């Protein structure tokens, strides 16, 4: 009988934990994994601009019964960390990265269109899906390249992820999309000619 009470108590505790999830604030710091052994820049300058055009810093909800209050939000201006990650790879490609608006051989504008986080399962969260959409406009002389890149990552979970786990999941999803941008053969060919 004591074992049954303990099991029931544990189940009640888990149900309560699933019902009341607190909000989280995460920091975007994507680590790119793209193969940087492409010397396409040849010392030319590229003016890089990263803009965040998301309508809100809220990227989703952790789920649970009170999902409207268990939001996940990004901290402050997310563009410097993304610009730093992109600049490092472009530098490895042998471009000289300069600030937006500077005189340069190429101009590249990377827009963070959306970062979405969706928790599935109710009242207990059992899965997470993150989706990121990024747009790119690159100008090379009088020619222009435009592209939109989307990536989705999913993960099954036993318990709702804590802040550190969610930060890792979201940064990995963002990094995958940025890797896709910087390994797009059509974009790289456009930038190299």
Mean pLDDT for the chain overall = 87
- Counting every residue written for the chain, the total comes to 193
Q: What is the C-alpha end-to-end distance of the chain, expressed in Å?
A: 77
Query: By three-state DSSP, how is residue 115 classified?
Result: strand
Higher pLDDT, 9 or 25: 25
- Give, as one character, the DSSP assignment of residue 120: E
pLDDT at 144 over 50: yes
Homologous superfamily in CATH for domain 38-192: Lipoprotein like domain (3.30.160.150)
Structural domain spans, the chain: 38-192
CA distance 147 to 154: 24
So what's the pLDDT on residue 4?
55
Residue closest to 181 by CA, chosen among 33, 27, 80: 33
Rounded to two decimals, the pTM is 0.84
pLDDT at 91 over 90: yes
């Amino acid at each position: 009988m004591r074992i049954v009470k303990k099991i029931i108590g544990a189940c009640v505790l888990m149900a309560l934990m699933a019902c009341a999830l607190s909000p989280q604030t995460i920091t975007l710091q994507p680590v790119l994994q793209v193969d940087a052994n492409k010397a396409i820049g040849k010392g030319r300058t590229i003016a890089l601009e990263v803009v965040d055009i998301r309508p809100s810093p809220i990227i989703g909800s952790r789920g649970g019964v009170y999902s409207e209050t268990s939001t996940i939000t990004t901290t402050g201006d997310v563009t410097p960390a993304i610009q730093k990650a992109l600049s490092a790879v472009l530098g490895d490609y042998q471009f000289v990265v300069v600030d937006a608006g500077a005189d340069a051989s190429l101009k590249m504008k990377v827009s963070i269109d959306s970062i979405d986080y969706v928790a599935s399962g109710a009242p207990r969260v059992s899965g997470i899906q993150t989706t990121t959409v990024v747009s790119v406009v690159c100008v090379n002389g009088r020619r222009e390249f435009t592209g939109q890149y989307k990536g989705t990552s999913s993960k099954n979970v036993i318990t709702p992820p804590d802040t550190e786990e969610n930060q890792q999941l979201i940064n990995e999803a963002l990094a995958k999309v940025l890797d896709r941008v910087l390994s797009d053969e059509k974009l790289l060919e456009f930038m190299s000619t």
